[in-house]
Amino acid sequence: MKRLRLLALALPVAALAFLLLALLASGASGGSGNTKYQWDIINFDFATMTLSQGGHASAFATHSGDSAHTGKITVTGHGTFRSNSGSPQDVTGGGTWQTFDASGNPTGSGNYQVTGFVDFHVAPGSLPPSVTDNSGNKADVRSGLAVFEIAYDDGSDGTLIVSCDLPVGSPVDMFEGITATKGYVDYWERDPAVAGVNANRTNFHELH
């Protein structure tokens, strides 16, 4: 504060006004925190090689020390967020959820809403020329990993992790699909995307 006072005394009024405008502009830009993205759980039509919104993805819970699945969650969803921003007003979206027991019997269903942004990391990757992207501008599609806080309409809360591993140039240690938590249950094992099966696919688009 003392340095700013001394600077104000030393500078002409016009120069001081210019400096203040520059400071305000740099503060408003917020760096990468102002980059807005769209996230989608997508459909993939293998016959036409076309992506669109409205798909579904699943993840499994397993018992500690046991590889057998003890439950499953399936979600739909899409929304937007601003990277590196923890403000709830900077996230939108949600979708539907359904849970199943170890035998595949439904145990609950409803809607969920994204309530908070936790983290996002963009990664290398792109779509091949043969794929048409109707979920957004193909030139702006991105690989990446996003973590959201969500609220289920049965009163429970949790997290949703959306991971997009685009087929061209994405790192080998990424995965395609989602994982989630709901209350005390961690659906940590993602259901993998399989060739010929329209499920467990996601993407991000940078919005301008």
Instruction: Please check whether residues 129 and 62 belong to one and the same domain.
Output: yes
Which range is least confidently modeled, 10-19, 48-57, 76-85, 111-120?
Answer: 10-19
Q: Which secondary structure element, helix H or strand E, spans residue 132, and what is its range?
A: strand 132-133
- Decide: 103 and 89 in contact? Cβ < 8 Å: no
What local confidence, expressed as pLDDT, does residue 34 receive?
Answer: 79
What local confidence, expressed as pLDDT, does residue 140 receive?
Answer: 98
Does the pLDDT at position 58 exceed 60?
Answer: yes
Q: Which domain holds residue 127?
A: 35-207
Instruction: Please check whether residues 23 and 109 belong to one and the same domain.
Output: no
Say if residue 77 is exposed, middle or buried (CB neighbours under 10 Å; 0-12, 13-18, 19+): buried
Instruction: Please check whether residues 99 and 139 belong to one and the same domain.
Output: yes
Domain count for the chain: 2
What share of the chain has pLDDT > 70, as a percent? 80
Instruction: Please check whether residues 57 and 25 belong to one and the same domain.
Output: no
Measured between alpha carbons, how far is residue 135 from residues 49, 52, 62, 74, 126 in Å? 13, 5, 33, 20, 14
CA distance 127 to 151: 32
What local confidence, expressed as pLDDT, does residue 90 receive?
Answer: 85
pTM of the model: 0.82
Instruction: Please check whether residues 23 and 43 belong to one and the same domain.
Output: no
pLDDT tens figures, 15-44: 434 333 433 333 333 334 579 999 999 999
What local confidence, expressed as pLDDT, does residue 86 receive?
Answer: 61
What local confidence, expressed as pLDDT, does residue 95 receive?
Answer: 98
Q: Whose structure tokens read 């006072």?
A: 5
List 106's β-bridge partners, or say none: 100
Does the pLDDT at position 50 exceed 50?
Answer: yes
Of 204, 202, 207, the C-alpha closest to 34 is 207
Does the pLDDT at position 78 exceed 70?
Answer: yes
Q: What's the distance, CA 143 to chain centroid?
A: 10
Instruction: Please check whether residues 23 and 42 belong to one and the same domain.
Output: no
Instruction: Please check whether residues 44 and 60 belong to one and the same domain.
Output: yes
Instruction: Please check whether residues 115 and 23 belong to one and the same domain.
Output: no
Q: Which is more confident, 1 or 201?
A: 201
